[in-house]
A and B are shown apart, each in its own frame.
Chain A
Amino acid sequence: NAGVTQTPKFQVLKTGQSMTLQCAQDMNHEYMSWYRQDPGMGLRLIHYSVGAGITDQGEVPNGYNVSRSTTEDFPLRLLSAAPSQTSVYFCASSSPRGTFSNEQYFGPGTRLTVT
């Protein structure tokens, strides 16, 4: 199993450009999430999905869109990049149903710089 994969690993954008961060998992997990990590802020939830076709907003959704057309993939779209979106982005997946825990599996991250 590859686990959770993210591409690209690094990206530099100019203000106003758009792009898609890719995330895929091969564990058949129903839950998938996007977080951003900023110094001193910990992890902040952007969007999440509890299954194919179902998405919901997290703590900081503005400026980002998501869709979940398959169980495996959960891309994050930046509509018009702003310097405030400079961050490290992590995708995570989990399969909590029928268990007493909800262990998250994280991808390696995408480091995004917006100039």
Chain B
Amino acid sequence: GDSVTQMEGPVTLSEEAFLTINCTYTATGYPSLFWYVQYPGEGLQLLLKATKADDKGSNKGFEATYRKETTSFHLEKGSVQVSDSAVYFCALSDRPGRGGSYIPTFGRGTSLIVHP
């Protein structure tokens, strides 16, 4: 079945450091890929997405590129801020008819802590 593996945290960085959170996936079909962010005490919200190979999703300075050849969707940001401290979830959603059911599969989440 489908699965998502993301690096374990917490990831601890100083402000303005470069961020990479690794995410790899296995899927029976041709999925869409997502990064969600969860700020303390809140629900998850979509950060960015990509729906086909070589697509780059971007939002709020974060980027991730859909790499079909390496089945990866790594999250990057060039200069993190204290306000980026949150838990980040990688997810995929496959499509019915290609072996999928639309029900998304989430990674376990990676906690990011940014110090001033």
A residues with a Cβ closer than 8 A to B are 4, 31, 33, 40-43, 45, 48, 50, 58, 90, 92, 94, 96, 100-104, 106-109
As a 0/1 sequence over residues 26 to 55 of chain B, the CB contacts with chain A under 8 angstroms (1 = contact) are 000000101010000011111001011000
Give CA–CA (A40, B42) in the complex, Å.
17
Minimum CB distance partner of A104 in chain B: B104
A108 touches B44 (CB 8 A): no
Q: A102-B93, A104-B104 are in contact. List 15 more A-B contacts (CB 8 A).
A: A31-B102, A40-B108, A42-B106, A42-B109, A43-B89, A45-B103, A58-B103, A90-B44, A96-B93, A96-B95, A100-B32, A101-B34, A103-B46, A106-B36, A107-B43
Give CA–CA (A96, B89) in the complex, Å.
19
Given contacts A42-B89, A104-B36, A33 and B103 within 8 Å (CB-CB): yes
Other-chain contact of B42, A58, A94, A104, A109 (Cβ < 8 Å): A109
B49 touches A48 (CB 8 A): no
A104 touches B108 (CB 8 A): no
Minimum CB distance partner of B4 in chain A: A42
A104 touches B44 (CB 8 A): yes
* A108 neighbours in B (Cβ, 8 Å): 42-43
Give CA–CA (A42, B93) in the complex, Å.
16
16 A-B contacts, Cβ less than 8 Å apart? A31-B102, A40-B108, A42-B106, A43-B89, A58-B103, A96-B102, A101-B32, A101-B34, A104-B34, A104-B44, A104-B46, A104-B91, A106-B36, A106-B45, A108-B42, A109-B42
B44 touches A106 (CB 8 A): yes
Give CA–CA (A30, B60) in the complex, Å.
29
Minimum CB distance partner of B42 in chain A: A108
As a 0/1 sequence over residues 74 to 113 of chain B, the CB contacts with chain A under 8 angstroms (1 = contact) are 0000000000000001010101000000111011110000
Chain B interface size band reads: 20 to 34
- B96 to chain A: closest CB distance in Å? 9
- A92 to chain B: closest CB distance in Å? 8
